[in-house]
Amino acid sequence: MRNGLSKDLIARVLGGAPKYTIEQLEEMFPPRNLPDGAMVTRFAPSPTGYMHIGGLYGALIDCKLAQQSGGVFMLRIEDTDTKREVADAVKIIEESMHRFGLAYDNNPVYGPYYQSQRKDIYHSVVADLLERGFAYPCFLSAEDMEQIRENQKAAGFATGIYGEFARDRDLTENEIIERLDKGGVPTIRLYSMGNPEQRIFCKDAVRGSIGFPENNEDIVLVKSNDGLPTYHFAHLCDDHFMRTTHVIRGEEWLPSLPLHAQLFRMMGWVAPLYIHTSTIDKIDEESGKQRKLSKRKDPEANVAFFLQAGWPVDAVVEYLGNIAASGYEEAKMKGQVESFWDYEMRAKKIPMSGALFDMKKLEWWAKEFIGSLSVPELVGRVVVWANEYGTDINKMQVADEKYLTGVLGIERDNPKRVRKDFITWSQTLENVAFFWDELFVPNTEYQFNQDALREFLATYNPTDDKDTWWAKIVAVAEKTGLKNGDVAMNLRVALSGRTNTPDLYSIMNVMGGERVIKRIEKVIK
């Protein structure tokens, strides 16, 4: 601890007297009135104009834990790095959360939820630290810091502003005033009393207690250029006054834990419980090694990719949920729960490392999910997707909803035996493309038996029921000396261009007599 600054000097250093005392802030943001065990969580993205799949993964865990415990899930925009700001970035975040069904509850009592609008709170807290000698104004310029860094490197010391290198940590009030008079605009730094020779034990809810060397860096709390806080200081103030109980964040923050513990201790506040989540990795196609999903190399790193490509958002949620809570898949397969939202996940079991995102596995979840939809639900999803993201061809396919319903309804009347060959909305439309004359590709390789087709056409009646229809196929087989299945195959290929399709009778029914006759005639001629 150093000598605290006078209130006047604090006002001068911060460009204005702090608006609130700590007591006032405590009253403004009262402890939440929630049942025991209720978790208060937040998703706290920086608005970079991009929503990473890892962000969605974290937000899903936040949302789920709050929801299942009867707590509160918030969205806080960490926009203190004004240099990195991107237009529409917040819209992209909000929209993504909405699309993936992550509903947050930003009660105005605990707001504002944009860090850039919380300056008064940060300044009030930092004023308290300045007054108690836990923080100080620092006038080191960028060049000064560069010089210090060079010297430290040359001498083989750890880099950073700490101990003897923290030139301004013990400036007197007069020295501070002198520098302010000369036009100096200080950052506010932590006056660290940590000793790296000593260990501090910090708790991570999954990893347990972890020993770290104490932090001795006088890290920046409030920046000089815009008076906004650094992540560390904003986290302290926001998660305390928003009454966050659980901070779920990426493992890249784990090394900051001793610093955060130190900050909470200095304020005499109880720190939230931390859970540091694994990065979302993939197996690199070239090297075969596991690596983080990269914004640059992997389209699937961006959640927008899944929306555009027509992956069912529910399947993405189910899959990410199963990465976070590996028991979910089994519970679902046993029919104990219907969706991830019904499954009781355990915070302690969130994987610490190596969470793998595998598109093949996602395919499985997508097939399962689409298999569980009713025909109207399936049609609805496909139509909405096609109209928003689809090609002109896709839009044409969904224009006649009645026909589409017939097409997608094939082999879907028995919920226990639904075909599971649909993966994405775009692939679904591609899979059934042959139903549209514009998209139908006749099979030029198949050796058709013209006689069989001719015989069938002669007796074909579009209103035949399935038994009558089959009896006619059998009759054609007898006449032509083919097997029943061969006759059906001739029809199947003539109508779809494919040798593998769902139920042939249903296909003919949906296509209608006119289209069926036209396609068969085309082969005969």
Give the rounded distance of the alpha carbon of 57 from its chain centre. Answer: 4
Residue 460 and residue 422 in contact, taking contact as beta carbons nearer than 8 Å: no
260 is a site residue for ligand GLU (CB under 6 A): no
DSSP codes, 350-408: S-SS-EE--HHHHHHHHHHHHHTS-HHHHHHHHHHHHHHH--HHHHHHHHSHHHHHHHH
Binding residue for ligand GLU, selected from 4, 18, 78, 350, defined by CB under 6 A:
78
Give the rounded distance of the alpha carbon of 9 from its chain centre: 45
What type of residue sits at position 27?
Answer: E
Q: How many residues bind ligand GLU (CB under 6 A)?
A: 9
Q: Which residue, 274 or 311, has its beta carbon nearer to ligand GLU?
A: 274
Q: Of 43-51, 180-188, 196-204, 382-390, which segment contacts ligand GLU by CB under 6 A?
A: 43-51
Q: CB-wise, 248 or 410, nearer to ligand GLU?
A: 248
Decide if residue 121 touches ligand GLU (CB under 6 A).
no
Which alpha helices (H) appear in 245-342, and where do they start and end? 257-267, 303-309, 313-324, 328-333
Binding to ligand GLU (CB under 6 A): which residues in 289-328?
none
- Cβ at position 304, least distance to ligand GLU in Å: 18
For ligand GLU, which is the closer residue by CB, 78 or 298? Answer: 78
**Residue 50 or 341 with smaller CB distance to ligand GLU:** 50
Which one among 123, 249, 332, 492 touches ligand GLU, defined by CB under 6 A?
Answer: 249
Question: From the CB of 80, what's the least distance to ligand GLU, in Å?
Answer: 9
| Segment interacting with ligand GLU, rule: CB under 6 A, options 64-72, 192-200, 245-253, 353-361 | 245-253
**CA-to-CA distance for 217 and 164, rounded, in angstroms?**
11
* 235 contributes a contact to ligand GLU by CB under 6 A: yes
**Residue 242 sits in the site that holds ligand GLU (CB under 6 A):** no
Show the binding pattern over residues 181-220: x = contacts ligand GLU (CB under 6 A), - = does not. Answer: ----------------------------------------
- Residue 277 binds to ligand GLU (criterion: CB under 6 A): no
Spatial distance between the Cα atoms of 53 and 297, rounded to a whole number of angstroms: 13
Nearer to ligand GLU, 61 or 370 (CB): 61
Stretch binding ligand GLU (CB under 6 A), from 106-114, 121-129, 248-256, 489-497: 248-256
What residue has token string 């997707």?
Answer: 385
Neighbours of 440 (CB within 10 A): 16
Query: Are the C-beta atoms of 134 and 1 separated by less than 8 Å?
Result: yes
Whole-Å CA distances, 470 to 212, 409, 461, 467: 76, 21, 12, 5
Using CB under 6 A as the binding rule, whether residue 74 contacts ligand GLU is answered as: no
Q: Is 40 in the site for ligand GLU (CB under 6 A)?
A: no
Q: CB nearer to ligand GLU: give 274 or 456.
A: 274
Any bridge partners for residue 290, and if so which? 283
247 binds ligand GLU (CB under 6 A): yes
Stretch of 38-46, 84-92, 346-354, 499-507 contacting ligand GLU, by CB under 6 A: 38-46
Is the preceding peptide bond at 112 cis, omega within 30 degrees of 0? yes
Residues 507 and 525: their CA atoms lie apart, in Å, by 22
Site for ligand GLU contains 96 (CB under 6 A)? no
Task: Determine contact, residues 149/217, Cβ cutoff 8 Å.
Answer: no
Select the span of 15-23, 39-47, 95-103, 375-383 touching ligand GLU (CB under 6 A): 39-47
- The residue (of 29 and 253) whose beta carbon lies closer to ligand GLU is 253
Rounded to whole angstroms, how far apart are CA atoms 213 and 194?
9
418, 412 contact by CB (below 8 A): yes
Residue nearest to ligand GLU (CB): 249
Give per-residue burial for 360-371: e unless 16+ CB within 10 Å, then b. eebbbbbbbbbb
Q: Which amino acid is at 254?
A: L
- DSSP of 215-243, one letter per residue? P-B--EEE-TTT-PBPHHHHHHHHHHHTT
In angstroms, rounded to a whole number, what is the distance separating the alpha carbons of residues 457 and 472? Answer: 10
Is 44 among the residues that bind ligand GLU (CB under 6 A)?
yes
Q: Which is closer to ligand GLU, CB of 148 or CB of 275?
A: 275
Residue 234: CB minimum distance to ligand GLU, A: 9
| Site membership for ligand GLU, residue 510 (CB under 6 A) | no
Q: Residue 274's beta-bridge partner residues?
A: 204, 247
Sheet with strand 290-292: strands edge to edge: 290-292, 280-283, 355-356
Select from 13, 14, 46, 511 the one that contacts ligand GLU (CB under 6 A). 46
- Closest to ligand GLU by CB, 253 vs 389, is 253
- CA angle (441, 445, 447) in 5-degree steps: 120
Among 184, 227, 250, 380, binds ligand GLU (CB under 6 A): 250
Q: How far is the CB of 54 from ligand GLU (least distance, A)?
A: 9
Residues contributing to the site for ligand GLU (CB under 6 A): 44-46, 78, 235, 247, 249-250, 253
